[in-house]
Amino acid sequence: MEELELQDKPGLFGRIAGIFSREDDEDVDDTRKGKNLTLRTAHRYTITVRRQVVSFDDAMAAADGLKQGEQQILNLSGTDAQLRQKIVDFMCGVNFAQEGTWEEVGEHVYLIVPACAYVEVAPATPRMGAIRN
């Protein structure tokens, strides 16, 4: 004769917890069942620093990187003034389309971040205000 095993019907909270838990995932720590803790690998986040942007091709490479989710730091201080403005306008458009964040971190140095990243800008200290004046 076969033995029948009775299972408790999960209540409302058990069903809700079942929705949000991932017991079948090997990466989850479940000490009640004696499983070992396994560490998850962290996702790499790419930051591209473009120190010498001297042509529009460099701006295209930065735009492609931004579209792929890579943070871009552009140094346009060595670029011709007319080309610099053209690159800034182009990158502003790409950044707007990607809904990213744009910060000027120095004179002609820009931080362009995709929408998936958060940029916190600290307020200027009184010393920084004195340097700029």
Predicted confidence at residue 37, as pLDDT, reads 62
Nearest one of 62, 63, 60, 65 to 51, comparing CA atoms: 62
Residues 6+ apart with CB under 8 A from 98: 66, 67, 114, 115
Predicted confidence at residue 93, as pLDDT, reads 94
Domain ranges of the chain: 47-118
Is this model's pTM higher than 0.75 or not?
no
Predicted confidence at residue 130, as pLDDT, reads 53
Give the CATH fold of the 47-118 domain: Translation Initiation Factor IF3 (3.30.110)
Name the token pair of 70.
Answer: 């890579």
How many angstroms separate the first and last alpha carbons of the chain?
Answer: 92
**72 and 66 Cβ atoms separated by less than 8 Å:** yes
Per-residue pLDDT of the chain (133 residues; tens, 9 = 90+): 555 555 566 666 666 666 666 555 444 444 455 556 666 665 567 777 878 888 889 899 999 988 988 898 899 998 999 999 999 999 999 999 999 999 998 899 999 998 888 787 777 667 655 555 4
Predicted confidence at residue 82, as pLDDT, reads 93
Torsion sign (Cα): 76, 81, 82, 86: positive
Predicted confidence at residue 89, as pLDDT, reads 95
Nearest one of 133, 81, 74 to 109, comparing CA atoms: 74
